[in-house]
Structures are given as structure tokens and as C-alpha cells.
Amino acid sequence: MTTFFNGYDGLLCDLDGVVYAGTQPIDQAITTLNVLIGQGVPVAFVTNNASKAVTEIADHLRELGVATNAEHVMTSAQAVVEILTAKYQCDAGPVLVTGSPQLTQQIRAAGFVTTQLATDRPQVVVQGFNPKLGWNDLAQASFAIQQGAGWLATNLDLTIPLSHGIAPGNGSLVNTVAQATGTRPEVAAGKPAPVMFTTMAQKFSMTKPLVVGDRLDTDVLGAANAGYDAALVETGIHRRQDIGDHRSVVTPTWLLPGLGVLLQEPSDDLRSHNA
């Protein structure tokens, strides 16, 4: 088994704020990923962004120059559909989808009827990120939940790092519905839940993977929940100074200025206990 950095045998990599910011690649990220892939290190991408299909994400990665494909990508949309099928029955009523067309398609492919109207008496609301969501979408979700529908969320990320700055994420939209309904989603499928990490590690036979992400509250905590080491990369949301605020909950094993460090020999000054 090919290893890298500190003897890890696979990389579970976040996307937004790690590989790219919006449509723009982050410095050294593409080169680093391709070197690892070329060395035979399994590299998989795990993202809470449920607004795009895995094929779209893989296409974008290839356009940026990453030698990968859709089999190596998992989103929180896939994770929430797995939870939906485990907790709800297709014949028990429609699913109100507050999210992207891609999320709707995946839920339909699982055998569920979907709707965007609370008057259709949906059995459950599935809420995922979509930059085109409006007030009425959030209102319909709120009405359905008040009428007794269940509530699943793809993820609770409050923010998204884009090339122009930090923008509201799905968690901010979830909070809007929570304010209206006085409740919270019963399950959030994405990170920090461990399911995406463990699924992709098993898929590519990783026994000692390294999780790399830019968020302590999702990537690093999710890695800990899965039992894996994590590296916080300082190219997205969280930085060195944020580690102290989260230390009571989770601390990354490594603190990296960028992905390029993974091609070097690990040094003690990269360990986060020095932060």
C-alpha cells in the first residue's frame, strides 16, 4: 500500500476552501492531488455541498486539472438520501425538497414522490443548499414542519468560502426555518456525521486515511467521529487562531498552510498542539 506524509494510506479531502474557492483553484492544490494520485495514493472527495451532482463536481475537478472521476466524490445529498430511505417509506407520502434539482432527482431515484408545497401534506422535509432558494421555499418547508412533517438536512454549514468572500451556507437557511418552527432537523446527514468518511474509506480500502478540511466544526470533528486523523488547512474558513475556541470539542492532528505541505516530510511544527 502506497503511503504519504506520516504513513497515511489514503486522503479524504474536502473541496470548498481546500481544493477551490468558488470556481477558482487554491494555490498548489491541483498539483498536490495529482502527485498523490500519480503515486498510487487513493484520494476521495467528501463535501457537504449538496447543490451539485457528483458528476458535476467531478467534471469541475477535471476542468481544474485533477485526475479523478465521479466514483471518487461523495456529497451530503447522497448521505441524506441513505438516511431518508432508512427512516421513511416511499408509500407514506411525498417528500418536500427544499434544495437543488440534483437533490430532488436523487430522492426521486430512491422511489419517493417529491413536492414543493406544504398543502400536499409531505411526510418529511429534506433541506439542502441551493443558491436560488427564496422566501417561499423556506416558508413552504416551515409550513410542512408545523403540520407535523419530519425534517432532514443535508448539512448544517453556516458559511461557504467563495472567491469573493464568505457567504451564507445551508446551516444559515436551516436556522431560518428553525426560527419559524421552533424546532431543529432530526438528522443532519453531512459532516460532522462520520458516514461519508467511513463510506469512502471502505470503498477505497483505506485503513489509515488522513482527512483534510478547512473547518474544525465539520471536517475535523467529522474525522474524529470516524476515528481518523485530521489536518486543518488554512485556506478556507478556520485558521490557527480558531483552534483554541474548538479545543474543548476537537483538535486537529495537523495544521497546514496548504495542501502542498502533504508532499513534504512531516515536521513537529506542523502538529496543531503548537498552535
What CATH number is attached to the domain comprising 269?
3.40.50.1000
Residue 273: pLDDT band (50, 70, 90) is: low
Q: Is residue 102 part of a domain?
A: yes
Question: Do residues 262 and 5 make contact, with C-beta atoms less than 8 angstroms apart?
Answer: yes
Give the residue ranges of the annotated binding site for substrate: 191
- Final residue of a structural domain among 127, 162, 188: 188
- The catalytic residue among 9, 14, 137, 229 is 14
Question: Do residues 252 and 243 make contact, with C-beta atoms less than 8 angstroms apart?
Answer: yes
Q: Is residue 117 part of a domain?
A: yes
Distance between CA 275 and CA 255 in Å, rounded? 8
Whether residues 93 and 173 share a domain: the answer is: yes
Whether residues 142 and 214 share a domain: the answer is: no
Whether residues 196 and 269 share a domain: the answer is: yes
Task: Report residue 194 CA to chain centroid gap.
Answer: 11
* Structural domain of 19: 10-48+191-274
The share of the chain scoring above pLDDT 90, in percent, equals 87
Per-residue three-class SS string for the chain: CCCECCCECEEEECCECCCEECCEECCCHHHHHHHHHHCCCCEEEEECCCCCCHHHHHHHHHHHCCCCCHHHEEEHHHHHHHHHHHHCCHHHCCEEEECCHHHHHHHHHCCCCEECCHHHCCCEEEECCCCCCCHHHHHHHHHHHHCCCEEEECCCCCEEEECCEEEECHHHHHHHHHHHHCCCCCEECCCCCCHHHHHHHHHCCCCCEEEEECCHHHHHHHHHHHCCEEEEECCCCCCHHHHHHHCCCCCCCEEECCHHHHHCCCCHHHEHHHC
Whether residues 175 and 119 share a domain: the answer is: yes
pLDDT tens-digit profile of 18-31?
Answer: 999 988 999 999 99
Q: How many domains does the chain have?
A: 2
Q: How much is the mean pLDDT over the chain?
A: 95
Cross-strand pairs, 261: none
Whether residues 92 and 170 share a domain: the answer is: yes
Does 192 sit behind a cis peptide bond, omega within 30 degrees of 0 on the bond before it?
A: yes
Q: Is residue 111 part of a domain?
A: yes
- Final residue of a structural domain among 159, 188, 217: 188
Whether 59 is catalytic is no
Q: Is residue 58 part of a domain?
A: no
- Kindly tell me the sign of the dihedral angle through the C-alpha atoms of 68, 71, 74, 77: positive
- The catalytic residue among 16, 157, 217, 219 is 16
Residues 6 or more apart whose Cβ sits within 8 Å of residue 92: 123
Distance between CA 169 and CA 70 in Å, rounded? 23
pLDDT tens-digit profile of 78-133?
Answer: 999 999 999 999 999 999 999 999 999 999 999 999 999 999 999 999 999 999 99
Whether residues 170 and 93 share a domain: the answer is: yes
pLDDT tens-digit profile of 185-230?
Answer: 999 999 999 989 999 999 999 999 999 999 999 999 999 999 999 9
- Final residue of a structural domain among 141, 173, 188: 188
The angle formed by the CA atoms of residues 262, 267 and 271, to the nearest 5 degrees, is 85
Give the residue ranges of the annotated binding site: 14, 16, 191, 214
Instruction: Tally the residues of the chain.
Output: 275
Whether 120 is catalytic is no
